[in-house]
Amino acid sequence: MAATAPSQSAPLAALSSTATELDVRDMVEALGAALTDAGIDGDLRGSITLAVSEALNNVTEHGYAGRAPGEVHMVVDLLADRVLVTLSDSGHGMPGGALPPGLLPDSSGARADLPEGGFGWFLIHKLCLDLSHTRHAGRNTLRMTFPRYLAPEKS
């Protein structure tokens, strides 16, 4: 058999779990272990696990809001110079059908007015090189692209 093209190579990791807070925590820890095994460590590993954790928490909190937690799937592919994490679920679509913009919540006010949430999409946008969401036949697919060798943080 001929050498397999990169697009057909086996993923670094493919995991499925129920979208609960404790189950997605296990998924994030498995992601971190898989990245370490692939030689991705330090700041980059931290950025990928944080961004994916935020996306999984969104599925848990909003995707299956008001209904029993469904499944969430994660596939991690190592490309030549990228790490691609694809999440899919059968929960609600994005509000308005589009990715939330991910603005940094305003923390310039008094202590009592400091934001306690709204950081999740900001962090996801900040840490991904590329981000896309599609919804087809009741399934959400979120594709999160990270560099494989450099810290992804944008200024």
Question: Which residues contribute to the site for other proteins (CB under 8 A)?
Answer: 21-22, 24-25, 28, 42-43, 46-47, 49-50, 53-54, 57, 60-61, 104-105, 107, 111-112, 114-117, 119-120, 122-123, 126-127, 153
**Residue among 79 and 150 whose Cβ is closer to other proteins:** 150
CB 73 within 8 A of CB 141: no
Among 145, 36, 45, 129, smallest CA distance to 87 is for 145
CB 123 within 8 A of CB 54: yes
Shortest Cβ distance from residue 80 to other proteins (Å)?
26
**Residue among 39 and 118 whose Cβ is closer to other proteins:** 118
φ, ψ (nearest 5 deg) of residue 81: -135, 20
Shortest Cβ distance from residue 10 to other proteins (Å)?
27
Shortest Cβ distance from residue 29 to other proteins (Å)?
9
**Residue among 81 and 116 whose Cβ is closer to other proteins:** 116
Write the CA distances from 133 to 22, 50, 145, integer angstroms.
Answer: 24, 18, 12
